C-alpha cells in the first residue's frame, strides 16, 4: 500500500492521489479498463450492486475503474467530496443543469459565458420551460434583484470568457446560500491549481477538461465536483439517464497524464501571459488588454485574492475594430488560428466570428465585448518567440 499521508501538496496530489500502483501489479500508470460491462459472480452480487448495497462496477456509462481514479483525483484537487468525469465540458454542464432544473424553473447567469453554454441557456432551455436571466455578476446587488422564487441555479465563469471579467465567488456564494439557490462555477480557465471555488462557497464546479486539465489538445473531456449527494444525482440521473455523456477510459487516462504536469504548465502559462499582457498593452495598435494581472484591470485586487496566479488567457481590443482584428488574425505565423484553449501551442481566435458567433451582434455588445476583440490562449513556447510573432502581427494590424 502507498502511504497516502505523504500526498499533501497540490503538485504531489495531482500526480498521486487516488491511485495505488501496488493494487495494480506495480504499474506506475493506471491501467486503461477498456470494458463496457462487468461480470457478476452470482445473481446475488448483481442484485446487490444494482441495489447499491455492494460496491462494484455494473456498466461503464456509470463507472469504470480508470475513470474512478480521475474522479477521485479531481475531487481531491478541487477540495470537494466527490467527482464525476464526463465526455466533454458541455456533457458536464448538461448533466448538471438537466438534473437540477425542471420546467418552470429559472437560472441566473453571468452576462458573459462560453458560447455554447450561452446557446444552451438562451436558445435551447426555453423549449423545456427553463428561462435564464443574464446579469452582471460583478454587481452583487443586481444578482440579489435577479433571484426570484423560481430561481434554482446561478452559474458563472471567472475570469469570464472572453473579456476576463472577474466574479467574486465568495460574494456570489453568500447571496446564493441565503436564497437557497445552487451556485455553479465553470472553473475551466483556472483549474483547481489557480482557483478552488468550492472553498469559497460555491456548490458545484464544472470543467472542460479538454482545456488545461488535459493540456495537450488531444482529447475532449469534462468534469464535475460537488457534494457526494449532488454528484450521485448527476451520475445516476444526469449521465446515466439524461445525456449519456460518459468519458471513455482512454480519455480519462489521458487527462490523468495531463494532470501530472498541471502545476508546471499553469505556472508557465501564467508567467508568459503576464509578461505578454504588459508588453502588448504598450503596443500602439492595441486599445486595451484584458488580463487580471494588469494594473489597468479593474478587479486586479479581487483576482489576486481568489486566484493563485492569473492564468494563460488574454484578450486584446485592437484599435480599428473588426478589420484590424481580421488583419491581426491573418498575420500571426507562430500562433495558431484555432478555437479551444489551454494547449501547449499558442492559439488565437476571434470571438465575434468564432466562439461567440451564436450571439447576435446586439447580444455580443450587451454581453460586454466588441467585434474587434481577439483572444489569446498563451502556450508553452518560448516567451520571446510568442512576443515577436504577436508584435509583428500587431504591426500589420495597425497599418
Ligand X SMILES: *Cc1c(COP(=O)(O)O)cnc(C)c1O
57 or 215, CB closer to ligand X? 215
CB atoms under 10 Å from CB of 111, counted, come to 20
How many Cα atoms occupy the beta-carbon half-sphere of 296 within 13 Å? Answer: 13
* Residues linked to residue 315 through DSSP beta bridges, in sequence order: 290, 375
CB of 122 to ligand X, least distance (A): 15
Segment near ligand X (CB under 6 A); pick from 29-37, 114-122, 144-152, 358-366: 114-122
Residue 31 is given by DSSP the state P
Residue 186 appears among annotated catalytic residues:
yes
Candidates 99, 208, 248, 346; binder of ligand X (CB under 6 A) is: 208
Candidates 94, 99, 138, 188; binder of ligand X (CB under 6 A) is: 188
Cell of 280: 502588448
User: Does 291 sit near ligand X (CB under 6 A)?
Assistant: no
By the 8 A CB rule, do 64 and 41 touch?
A: no
Dihedral over Cα of 250, 255, 259, 260: its sign: positive
* Residues linked to residue 238 through DSSP beta bridges, in sequence order: none
* Residues linked to residue 109 through DSSP beta bridges, in sequence order: 134, 155
Segment near ligand X (CB under 6 A); pick from 25-33, 62-70, 173-181, 203-211: 203-211
Residue 61 appears among annotated catalytic residues:
yes
63 or 222, CB closer to ligand X? 222
161 or 394, CB closer to ligand X? 161
Catalytic residue among 49, 61, 257, 288: 61
Residue of closest CB approach to ligand X = 89
Cell of 20: 495505488
**Cα 317 from Cα 268, distance rounded (Å):** 24
Helix (H) or strand (E) holding 152, with range, is: strand 151-157
User: Does 203 sit near ligand X (CB under 6 A)?
Assistant: no
Residue 149 CA: distances (Å) to CA of 146, 176, 201, 231, 347? 10, 12, 21, 25, 42
User: Does 222 sit near ligand X (CB under 6 A)?
Assistant: yes
Residue 211 appears among annotated catalytic residues:
yes
Segment near ligand X (CB under 6 A); pick from 48-56, 109-117, 284-292, 380-388: 109-117
User: Does 114 sit near ligand X (CB under 6 A)?
Assistant: yes
**Cα 316 from Cα 335, distance rounded (Å):** 14
User: Does 64 sit near ligand X (CB under 6 A)?
Assistant: no
Residue 49 appears among annotated catalytic residues:
no
User: Does 370 sit near ligand X (CB under 6 A)?
Assistant: no
Laid out side by side, the sheet with 313-318 consists of 286-290, 313-318, 373-377, 347-349, 336-337
Candidates 88, 191, 306, 349; binder of ligand X (CB under 6 A) is: 88
Interacting residue ranges for ligand X, rule: CB under 6 A: 88-90, 114, 116-117, 157, 161, 186, 188, 208, 210-211, 220, 222
Just list the catalytic residues.
61, 114, 186, 211
Amino acid at each position: 500500500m502507498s502511504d497516502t499521508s505523504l500526498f499533501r501538496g497540490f503538485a504531489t496530489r495531482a500526480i498521486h492521489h487516488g491511485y495505488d500502483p501496488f493494487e495494480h501489479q506495480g504499474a506506475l500508470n493506471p491501467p486503461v479498463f477498456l470494458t463496457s460491462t462487468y461480470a457478476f459472480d452470482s445473481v446475488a452480487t448483481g442484485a446487490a450492486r444494482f441495489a447499491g448495497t455492494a460496491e462494484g462496477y455494473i456498466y461503464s456509462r456509470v463507472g469504470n475503474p480508470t475513470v474512478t481514479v480521475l474522479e477521485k483525483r479531481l475531487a481531491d484537487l478541487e477540495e470537494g467530496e466527490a467527482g464525476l468525469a464526463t465526455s466533454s465540458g458541455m456533457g458536464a454542464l448538461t448533466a448538471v443543469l438537466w438534473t437540477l432544473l425542471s420546467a418552470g424553473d429559472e437560472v441566473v447567469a453571468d452576462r458573459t459565458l462560453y458560447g455554447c453554454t450561452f446557446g444552451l441557456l438562451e436558445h435551447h432551455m426555453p423549449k423545456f420551460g427553463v428561462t435564464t436571466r443574464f446579469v452582471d455578476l460583478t454587481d452583487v446587488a443586481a444578482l440579489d434583484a435577479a433571484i426570484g422564487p423560481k430561481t434554482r441555479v446561478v452559474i458563472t465563469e471567472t475570469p469570464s470568457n472572453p473579456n476576463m471579467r472577474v466574479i467574486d465567488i465568495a460574494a456570489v456564494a453568500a447571496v446564493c446560500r441565503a436564497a437557497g439557490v445552487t451556485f455553479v462555477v465553470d472553473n475551466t480557465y483556472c483549474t483547481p491549481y489557480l482557483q478552488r471555488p468550492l472553498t469559497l462557497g460555491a456548490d458545484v464546479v464544472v470543467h472542460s477538461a479538454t482545456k488545461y486539465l488535459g493540456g495537450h489538445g488531444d482529447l475532449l473531456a469534462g468534469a464535475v465536483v460537488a457534494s457526494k449527494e449532488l454528484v450521485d444525482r448527476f451520475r445516476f440521473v444526469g449521465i446515466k439517464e439524461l445525456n449519456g455523456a460518459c468519458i471513455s477510459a482512454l480519455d480519462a487516462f489521458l487527462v490523468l497524464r495531463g494532470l501530472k504536469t498541471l502545476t508546471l504548465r499553469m505556472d508557465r502559462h501564467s508567467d508568459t501571459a503576464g509578461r505578454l499582457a504588459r508588453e502588448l498593452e504598450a503596443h500602439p495598435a492595441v486599445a486595451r488588454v484584458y488580463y487580471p494581472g494588469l494594473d489597468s484591470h479593474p478587479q486586479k485586487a479581487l483576482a489576486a485574492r481568489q486566484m493563485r496566479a492569473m492564468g494563460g488567457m488574454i484578450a486584446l481590443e485592437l484599435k480599428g475594430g473588426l478589420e484590424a482584428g481580421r488583419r491581426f488574425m491573418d498575420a500571426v505565423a507562430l500562433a495558431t488560428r484555432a478555437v479551444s484553449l489551454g494547449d501547449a501551442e499558442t492559439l488565437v481566435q476571434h470571438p465575434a466570428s468564432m466562439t461567440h458567433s451564436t450571439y447576435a451582434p446586439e447580444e455580443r455588445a450587451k454581453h460586454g465585448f466588441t467585434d474587434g476583440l481577439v483572444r489569446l490562449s498563451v502556450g508553452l513556447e518560448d516567451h520571446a518567440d510568442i512576443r515577436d510573432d504577436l508584435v509583428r502581427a500587431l504591426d500589420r494590424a495597425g497599418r
